[in-house]
Amino acid sequence: MNVRPWWLLPPGRIHPGWWIALGALLIWMDHATGPHATFPVLYAVPVVLAAWYSGKRAAIGLGIAVPLARILTLVSSQPYPDVYSSILATLFRGSMVLLFALWFARLADYERELSRQVRVLEGLLAICSFCKSIRNERGDWEHLESFISRRSEAEFSHGVCPSCGALHYPDMFGEERSVSNG
């Protein structure tokens, strides 16, 4: 059985609007609590989720918009002496969140590519000893090639191995047979 690791976010795609709404909620919370309360860790949450579920563009957009909204909140609120250091801290946090977003977007793309490439046949396969047909889930026997083709992206090309060629086509494979028996 193929089990996803517990630490990996669930697969799927989600519309970027949800992450924009979450980012807006965080900006509102930040504004409502005043200029001295900061939520630097929470800035990463919508950006990372946008990177994983909506892609790099949504994450970059949100990763730039959330810190800029924080800076606008700082500038528009009552002036206080430490506003410039708060703006610098916000810019630094924003750049770190943006790096995390790019990393998560790349990780999500890599995980999706792996999921697309890997389709595993698992379990015990009943195969005929003579014709190599496989019994499917319904109990019907089907050719090996069609069974695997329906469950993967593998394609088949056919040929004749030297042993079967010498056995079934001795005129064509006669030289190889005499060399291998020789």
Rounded to two decimals, the pTM is 0.52
Q: In terms of domains, do 89 and 32 share one?
A: yes
The whole-angstrom distance between residue 149's C-alpha and the CA centroid of its chain comes to: 23
Which regions in the chain score pLDDT beneath 70?
Answer: 1-13, 16, 19, 27, 30-41, 77-81, 117-122, 174-182
User: What is the count of structural domains for the chain?
Assistant: 2
Q: In terms of domains, do 23 and 111 share one?
A: yes
Residue 1 is predicted with a pLDDT of 46
The whole-angstrom distance between residue 104's C-alpha and the CA centroid of its chain comes to: 10
Q: In terms of domains, do 44 and 101 share one?
A: yes
What is the spatial distance between Cα 110 and Cα 179, in angstroms, rounded to a whole number?
A: 49
Q: In terms of domains, do 30 and 111 share one?
A: yes
Q: Is 19 in contact with 54 (CB distance < 8 Å)?
A: yes
Quickly tell me which residue has 């916000």 as its tokens: 90
Please, what is the end-to-end C-alpha distance for the chain in angstroms?
48
Q: In terms of domains, do 21 and 93 share one?
A: yes
Residue 177 is predicted with a pLDDT of 43
Residue 129 is predicted with a pLDDT of 86
Cα–Cα distance list, 23 to 30, 75, 90, 111 (Å): 10, 19, 15, 25
List, for residues 68-93, the tens digit of each pLDDT value.
877 787 777 666 667 777 778 778 88
CB atoms closer than 10 angstroms to residue 52: 24
Provide the residue range defining the domain that includes 156: 134-181
Residue 141 is predicted with a pLDDT of 93
Residue 178 is predicted with a pLDDT of 45
